[in-house]
Structure formats: structure tokens, C-alpha cells
Amino acid sequence: MDPAERAAALHRVGDVLAARRAELIEVAGSEAGKTIDQSDPEVSEAIDFCHHYAESSLLLHDSEHMVGARFAPVDVTVVASPWNFPLAIPTGGVAAALAAGSAVILKPAPPARRCAAELVRTFHDAGIPEDLVVLAPLEDGDVSRHLVTHKDVDRVVLTGSYDTARLFRSWKPDMHLLGETSGKNAIIVTPSADPDIAVRDAVYSAFAHAGQKCSASSLLVLVSSASTSERIARQLVDATASLRVRLPLSLDSQMGPVVVPDDEKAVRGLTTLGSGEHWVLKPRYLGDGLWTPGIRAGVVPGSEFHLTEYFAPVIGIMRVDTLQEAIEAVNAVDYGLTSGLQTLDATELAIWLEGVQAGNLYVNRGITGAIVRRQPFGGWKRSAIGSTTKAGGPSYLLGLGEVEPARGKDKGEPGGPGDQGISALDPRVASLCDAVSGQLGAADLAELRRAMVADASAWRAGYGANRDVTGLACERNILRYRAVDVVVRAGQGTALADLVRVMAAGVRAGGFISLSVADRLPQPLQNALLAAGVQVAVEDQGAWDARLAELSASGGLGTRVRVIGPREQTSAARWSHASRVTGGSPDIALYTGAVTACPHSELLPFLREQAVAITNHRFGTPLDLAEGLL
Ligand SMILES: NC(=O)c1ccc[n+]([C@@H]2O[C@H](COP(=O)([O-])OP(=O)(O)OC[C@H]3O[C@@H](n4cnc5c(N)ncnc54)[C@H](O)[C@@H]3O)[C@@H](O)[C@H]2O)c1
Ligand SMILES: N[C@@H](CCC=O)C(=O)O
């Protein structure tokens, strides 16, 4: 299929899913315990994924978007999907891989196999050839292991727990794994919050789908007088205790079953208190996997409940004195998926927006239910594995193939498009180019300038701006990019132009960069890098490998490493060497792709995506709490 046919076929899949909404809701309810209010939006999300990735796929083949690069698809992608979103997540993974030009094997979680079979049938009925999407309804055992580690599988898209990601990488350290993983998410309520709204949002975020969402809130952090408010306490208990807990067959059910009833962690969360904790509402087992929702109070920083994802209908209350303490408690968790704030105070909002570490932020609303494109979804730290970008966002497809240089003969010529805008470059970036301009050939110099101009334009249009692509009046939905610290390694024989191109992207992004080079740098470049705040070390391969191994052992979560080398060396060779050195640590994201002028593939290693959704009204009256902040 060519790109246009593929996009059209994916749009058709979206349409067929829409026509089958009722059947899909039935299967998700009967097989995977989803109540109708939960599976209905899931079908919508699945449909949205198809249309969104169909459109995104066209950009991969647009030379203005991919400046100086071409997107090379891989042959085979395995999508290992979870049971808790048995419709949207497998559809999203399969649609994305197809959009990126790969064939797909869908390996669903065993409790959601029938849902997956319905989805695969839908892809085929919409005209996707049967050998492009194949169902592998396997148990989690040797055959699954054989599949995900198979040498002919180029990418594994795992949506599941962090432990599963670590297990997969322990089997195959150089697995190209794009992991969307666990969360332990909190809502902070300050004394400036509206108590009614705070309670409504906390209860829905904690107990919808019986707490079995990676986005669910299982911690409520009450600040200062919010922690002694009788009104908040009473409403929280009332709203939780009155939830209707029934199997999805009952159409009025608000909370369905715990889908894996013998899950040891879930049962512990529902039954076992930590030191100093007590039940405000003790969960009761009703049979058929149904548990009444639980509230425990007295959760203290550093305790098991504070730090563990239980995936069950239970929320813990933590009391703190200040917003700063609350943010520290939220950030102390290894994960960073969703996070919520309830406040009507703009100063508090500013402090929280600056300090909280999570991929999806929500203000004065629930913290679940991200909508494709409006709230691209994905976390920080141990909530995301590999060089993955947000699902349903503008850049997700890039990780599902390789980005290679496309140096055409009409490209990179002096006086060509690369010279436009060169005078308007960030001075730190321009100084890098000036430092080496005398040492580069004409083609390399022109390509470097083209890259820098493309970065600047992409920065203005997206990466450096707070984008709200849906533009709703009632809700601000901003996708912003936060600079992240990165270690860059330029192996022996790296072309000077390539090194400067990568550093230009990094300097533009603005985070701290530690650069390891095998070959000593020309002094003017060294000076320009130091002036831009880059730390430079000259290290032979052995010293670099030792540093990389230490980085992976030191437990920094979500550490980013960009590795480049001579042009004749493949990305695969760099990937396989670096993954061996790190032992496949899921806590390190390696970027080993070829160096190109493309701003998207070069800027993204230096940036973390963050989606911020803020309720922008109060009872229908516009209220822009984030005015001047975002
Ligand atoms: N970040 C996200 O977008 C997101 C979305 C949904 C769920 N999750 C996370 O997923 C977890 C719950 O879902 P789950 O229980 O299905 O996750 P899981 O990690 O147990 O399973 C995920 C996938 O990996 C497969 N798998 C697990 N163990 C395997 C093994 N030994 N061999 C082969 N395959 C194996 C499963 O069959 C499934 O396809 C939670 O931690 C939740 O936070 C994350
Ligand atoms: N994307 C979903 C969560 C998926 C994880 O379980 C949400 O935003 O609630």
C-alpha cells in the first residue's frame, strides 16, 4: 500500500469501528468487565486513533515536514496490549504501526482476547490485507516470549506495566521497545480549591473502571486546611459509598469488577493497611470480582501505598502542610504519568505547573480520559520506556521506523533554502555554525544551515510554543515541550557537521547537555559549546562504555542518551552496542538514529512532551486561571 492508500484504509477502519460501536461495547463489557460509560468513550478513542494516525502518516512522507530526511518503515511490529483498555489501546497500537508502514502482530493480554479478535476483524473488513494485521492470542508464556524476542520483529509496542517492560528487556536487551507503562497518580487539593469540584473529580478519577486505569488517581494529597475540612471528608465518603457496584450487565453500573481478582497487589491494596493508616471506607468483596471502593487515610510519604500502583478501587489520603510538600510527595514516585491540581489560585497553579513531574497534567478536572490529539497521552520517568512519544500526539509515528538522511542533489546547495532565516537564528546556535564554517565543505555547511533554520521554524511553530490545537473555549489543552538533560556521545569518526547539527538541536532545546567525544574538538567549537553551557569530555570508547554502564546502573529514571557516529555506521549497530552496554535498562532512552536536518527527529531527544488540560470556566462563566502562564 502506498501512503495515501494506507491513510484512506485507516480512515475506513475508523468508520467501521464507529458502525460497530454497540457490538464492541458488548464484547468489552462481557469479556473485560467494562461498564457502558467506560467502553463508549473507549470506542470513540479507538476511532480517533485511526483518523489521527491516518493523517499523521501523510506527514511522514511530506518533504517540507521531514526536511532533509526520509522515513524508513520497519517490516514487523508486535503490539502487546493490556486488558484494561481492550479496545482503544490495541487499536491505537495497530493503527500507528500500520500508519508507519509496518505489518503488525497484535498480541493482546489474555483477559481481552475476544475484544482483540473483533478489532482485527474490523481492520480486515475495512480493507486492510489479512497478512498486514495478524492476531496472536497467546498466553503469557514461552510462545509469547518467543514472539516478542523474535529476530524478525523490529519494534515492540508494549502498553502494560513497568515490570513487564523490564522483563521483556531482560530477555532481549536490544529490543526496540516503545513502552507506555504504569502510573501512581495523585490529585492535590489546596485550600483554594472548590471542594465540590475537587471531590467529584477525585472520586471519578479513582474509581471509574474500578481504578484499573494507568491514569487513575489513587492518592489524594490534601494541603493544610483542605486536610481538616469536614465538608471535603464528608462529601468524599458520601460520593464514594454511593457508587453503584455491579457487573456491566446492569446498565446502571458505575463500577464494574476487578478484572484479575487474584492479582496479589490489587488484593493487598484492598485489604492491607500500612503503618499508621486506617480505613475511612473499608472495601468489601461482593463476589464475581466486585469490590466496593475503599478510602484509606494516614498515608505517609515513603510508605508502600504512597509509591505503589495497585490497579484497584482504592484511594489513599495524604495530609501535608504546604503545596511545595505536596509537589515533593507527587514527584517522589518513580512514575510520572498523570497528575492533578484542584485550586482557584493562579499563583498555586504557576508553582505546580513549574514543579510537577508528569506527562499529563489536569487542573480542576478529572485526571483520566485523555482524548486523542486534544490531550496526547504518555508519561515521564518509569511511565514511559524508550524513545517513545505521546500516543495520539503529533510525533508518535516517528518511533515506529527509522529517520534517514535524504541528501538530494537539489538539497543542501549554498544559496538554497538553507540560507533563508539564517540571520534570525538563536545566537548560541549561530555561534556553533560560525565556529566550524571554515572547516566544512559547501554541501555540509548548507545542510547544517538548513537544519538550523528548520529547527528555528519548528521551534516557533510548535516546540517552543504552547500549542492548543483544539482551541476549545471551555478547556485549555496545551501541548508543551520541557527541556530535558541529555548525554550526547559522538563516537570516533563522527562528521563534524553531524556533531554540530545534533548540538544545535540540543542547544536550541535549552536543557543541560553533557557531550562525550572520541575525537578532540576544534578549539573554536569547544569554546562555542562551553559558552552555550555544554559540558565536554574527551573519552575513548572504553571510557564512554564505562560511563554509559554506570549511567544505567545509577538508576536515573528516564535518562536520555543520544549516540552518533560515522556516517557509514548504521543506527542498528549503534543501538545494539549501546543496549548491550546498558543491559537493556528500561530507565535509559537511547537515540541512535542517523543525523538528519529534520527538526522533529533531532529536537525530540532533547525535549519531553507535556499535555496540560485546564478547565477554563466556572459554572459556564469563562475563567482563564492560566492567563499569562501558558
Ligand atoms: N501508560 C499507558 O498508556 C498504560 C495504559 C494501560 C495500562 N497501562 C499499565 O498496564 C498495567 C495493567 O495492564 P496489564 O496487566 O495488561 O499489563 P501487563 O504488563 O501485565 O501486560 C501488558 C502486555 O504484556 C503482555 N505480557 C505480560 N507478561 C508477559 C509475559 N511474561 N510474556 C509475554 N507477554 C507478557 C500481556 O499479555 C499484555 O499483552 C498497569 O501497570 C497499567 O498502568 C499503562
Ligand atoms: N489513556 C487513558 C488511560 C490508559 C491507561 O490505562 C486515560 O487517559 O485515562
Per-residue model confidence as pLDDT tens digits over 524-541? 999 999 999 999 999 999
Ligand 2 atom closest to the Cα of residue 45 is: 1
Q: Hunting for cell 479513582 — which residue is that?
A: 206
Could you tell me which of 27, 1, 330, 385 has the C-alpha nearest to residue 182?
Answer: 385
Counting ligand 2 atoms within 8 A of each CB, the residue from 43, 159, 377 with the most, and so the one to mutate, is 377
**Where in the chain are the domains?**
3-180, 185-364, 420-467+481-608
Ligand 1 atom closest to the Cα of residue 162 is: 41
Which DSSP category does 595 fall into? P
Query: What residues pair up with 281 in beta bridges, in sequence order?
Result: 295
Taking residues 236-262, what's their average pLDDT?
96
pLDDT grade for 420, boundaries at 50, 70 and 90: low
Tell me if 311 CB under 6 Å of ligand 1: yes
**Percentage, residues of the chain above pLDDT 90:** 96
Could you tell me which of 361, 427, 397, 423 has the C-alpha nearest to residue 604?
Answer: 397
How much is the pLDDT for 412?
45
Taking residues 140-149, what's their average pLDDT?
98
Distance between CA atoms of residues 474 and 622, nearest Å? 7
CA atoms within 13 Å, Cβ hemisphere of 577: 17
DSSP assignment of 305-352: HHH----SSEEEEEEESSHHHHHHHHHTSSEESEEEEE-S-HHHHHHH
Query: What residues pair up with 104 in beta bridges, in sequence order?
Result: 77, 133
Residue partners of 300: CB distance under 8 A and separation at least 6: 274, 275, 276, 306, 318
> Which active-site residues does the annotation give?
180, 214
Dihedral, CA atoms, 173, 177, 183, 188, nearest 10 degrees?
110
Residues 579-590: pLDDT tens digits?
A: 999 999 999 999
How much is the pLDDT for 413?
47
Q: Tell me yes or no: is domain 420-467+481-608 CATH 1.10.287.
A: no
How much is the pLDDT for 362?
99
Instruction: Compute the distance from residue 367 Cα to the ligand 2 centre, in Å.
Output: 9
Q: Please report which residue ranges of 183-307 form alpha helices under DSSP H.
A: 195-207, 230-241, 264-271, 304-307
pLDDT grade for 414, boundaries at 50, 70 and 90: very low
Ligand 2 atom closest to the Cα of residue 180 is: 5
How much is the pLDDT for 488?
98
With 0-12 / 13-18 / 19 or more C-beta atoms within 10 angstroms meaning exposed / middle / buried, residue 174 is: middle
Distance between CA atoms of residues 105 and 148, nearest Å? 10
pLDDT grade for 422, boundaries at 50, 70 and 90: confident
Ligand 2 atom closest to the Cα of residue 216 is: 9
Ligand positioned closest to the Cα atom of 46: 2
Distance between CA atoms of residues 185 and 308, nearest Å? 10
Taking residues 377-381, what's their average pLDDT?
98
Q: Hunting for cell 510527595 — which residue is that?
A: 329
Instruction: Compute the distance from residue 83 Cα to the ligand 1 centre, in Å.
Output: 7
Distance between CA atoms of residues 133 and 15, nearest Å? 18
Q: CATH fold of 185-364, please?
A: Aldehyde Dehydrogenase; Chain A, domain 2 (3.40.309)
How much is the pLDDT for 419?
53
Instruction: Compute the distance from residue 369 Cα to the ligand 2 centre, in Å.
Output: 6
Triad 33, 37, 43: Cα angle to 5°: 80
Counting ligand 2 atoms within 8 A of each CB, the residue from 89, 215, 375 with the most, and so the one to mutate, is 215
Residues 357-380 as b/e (b if ≥16 CB within 10 A, e otherwise) read bbbbbbbbbbbbbbbbbbbbbbbb
The number of beta carbons lying within 10 Å of the beta carbon of residue 196 is: 12
The x, y and z cell numbers of residue 468, run together, are: 492548543
Instruction: Compute the distance from residue 238 Cα to the ligand 1 centre, in Å.
Output: 33
Ligand positioned closest to the Cα atom of 145: 1
Counting ligand 2 atoms within 8 A of each CB, the residue from 213, 311, 373, 396 with the most, and so the one to mutate, is 213
Distance between CA atoms of residues 625 and 152, nearest Å? 51
Which residue has the CA at smallest separation from atom 18 of ligand 1?
160
The answer to whether the beta carbons of residues 417 and 565 sit under 8 Å apart is: no
Q: Side chain identity at 580, as an amino acid letter?
A: R
How much is the pLDDT for 574?
98
Tell me if 585 CB under 6 Å of ligand 2: no
Distances (CA, A) of 302 to 190, 274, 308, 630: 21, 11, 10, 32
Res. 25: pLDDT tops 80: yes
Res. 408: pLDDT tops 80: no
How much is the pLDDT for 40?
98
**Which is it for strands 559-564 and 535-538: parallel, antiparallel or unpaired?**
unpaired
Instruction: Compute the distance from residue 627 Cα to the ligand 1 centre, in Å.
Output: 39
Tell me if 106 CB under 6 Å of ligand 1: no
Distance between CA atoms of residues 72 and 76, nearest Å? 13
Ligand 2 atom closest to the Cα of residue 368 is: 9
Query: What residues pair up with 361 in beta bridges, in sequence order?
Result: 339, 612
How much is the pLDDT for 411?
47
DSSP assignment of 511-549: S-EEEEESSPPPHHHHHHHHHTT-EEEE--HHHHHHHHH
Element (H, E) at 291: strand 290-291
Q: Hunting for cell 487499536 — which residue is that?
A: 91
Tell me if 190 CB under 6 Å of ligand 2: no
Instruction: Compute the distance from residue 221 Cα to the ligand 1 centre, in Å.
Output: 27
Q: CATH fold of 3-180, please?
A: Aldehyde Dehydrogenase; Chain A, domain 1 (3.40.605)
ipTM value of the model? 0.98
Ligand 1 atom closest to the Cα of residue 138 is: 37
Could you tell me which of 497, 499, 524 has the C-alpha nearest to residue 513?
Answer: 499
Residues 352-375: pLDDT tens digits?
A: 999 999 999 999 999 999 999 999
Element (H, E) at 215: none
Could you tell me which of 30, 34, 61, 59 has the C-alpha nearest to residue 46?
Answer: 34
Instruction: Compute the distance from residue 140 Cα to the ligand 1 centre, in Å.
Output: 10
Res. 351: pLDDT tops 90: yes
DSSP assignment of 338-388: EEEEE-S-HHHHHHHHHH---SEEEESS-S----TTTS-B--EETTEESS-
Could you tell me which of 466, 451, 453, 399 has the C-alpha nearest to residue 604?
Answer: 399
Element (H, E) at 253: none
DSSP assignment of 439-505: GS-HHHHHHHHHHHHHHHHHIIIIITS-B-SS--SSEEEEEEEEE--EEEEE-TT--HHHHHHHHHH
Residues 476-515: pLDDT tens digits?
A: 999 999 999 999 999 999 999 999 999 999 999 999 999 9
